[in-house]
Amino acid sequence: MQRELEEARQRLVERLVHEGYIRSEHVKRAMLRVPRELFLPEDLRHLAYEDTPLPIGHGQTISAPHMVAMMTELAELEPGMKVLEVGTGSGYHAAVIAEVVAPSGTPREKWGHVYTVERIPELAERARFNLERAGYSDRVAVIVGDGSKGYPSAAPYDRIIVTAAAPEVPRPLPEQLRPGGKIVIPIGDRYMQYLYVVEKLPDGRLKKRPVTPCIFVPLVGEHGWREHESWV
């Protein structure tokens, strides 16, 4: 089973390269390295290398591998960067980000760090377990809370990656970003979402660029959608 999964992982990564989702060596290396099966419920492991989102409980999903690849490429990460992820879910995307900013086998003093915020405590707990078992707990901190407010304690960040759809860029996020930093974020409602790259220019202004239509679960929080309000 293990060998089959590894072969399936290689085939998927080759396909994502061929389809243009993976463009850089470091994202390719990270996706070859992180075992997606360790971030899935036991009964779904055999689907780990299908290019599709999968349920992880509490009405939430692990994103499809092509979306993880695309968002990671758009963020233009480099080793040593400090990254905030909003929406930990299973912890898989956080592990992929960690493998780029703090690559396994490189000196720890050069490692960057990933802070990832999840609003559902049970998912955060499970993600911590997954990350530990996959060998990323020293590079990724999982925080329970409302990530629409960011995570000011570790700010400023070089990059922010949001993996749930917001009505607009949550105001606290650019405030917690370094000038020259980037936010990758899906913006929109249930019917229509676009993935955006938002750049914070040296003078603090934001430059927003839509990239592609997408489908994410809602960002629920003070600067996202309200829990009982319209996810219209």
Provide, rounded to whole angstroms, the least separation between the CB of residue 159 and ligand SAM: 14
CB of 190 to ligand SAM, least distance (A): 14
Question: What are the beta bridge partners of residue 207?
Answer: 199
Catalytic residue among 24, 63, 137, 153: 63
Contacts of 10 (CB under 8 A, 6+ apart): 32
Contact positions vs ligand SAM (CB under 6 A): 60-63, 86-87, 89-90, 92-93, 117-120, 123, 146-148, 163-164, 216-217, 219-221, 224
Output 146 or 158, the one with its CB closest to ligand SAM: 146
Annotation says 63 is catalytic: yes
Please choose, from the candidates 137, 140, 138, 174, the residue with its C-alpha nearest in 3D space to the C-alpha of residue 157. 174
Identity at 3, one-letter amino acid code: R
Smallest gap from residue 75 Cβ to ligand SAM (A): 13
What are the tokens at 33?
Answer: 């390295």
Nearer to ligand SAM, 71 or 81 (CB): 71
Smallest gap from Cβ 201 to ligand SAM, in A, equals: 26
CB closer to ligand SAM, 181 vs 224: 224
User: CB under 8 Å to 19, separation ≥6 — which residues?
Assistant: 66
CB of 219 to ligand SAM, least distance (A): 4
Q: Which is nearer to ligand SAM, 55 or 179 (CB)?
A: 55
Which own/partner contact pairs does 11-19 have at CB distance under 8 Å and 24+ positions apart? Answer: 11/49, 12/49, 12/51, 12/65, 15/51, 16/51, 16/65, 16/66, 16/69, 19/66
- What is the identity of the amino acid at 61? T
Distance between CA 208 and CA 216 in Å, rounded?
19
Closest to ligand SAM by CB, 81 vs 166, is 166
Identify each DSSP E strand in the chain by its residue range: 54-57, 60-62, 82-86, 113-118, 140-144, 157-162, 177-188, 193-200, 206-213
Which residues form the catalytic set? Answer: 63
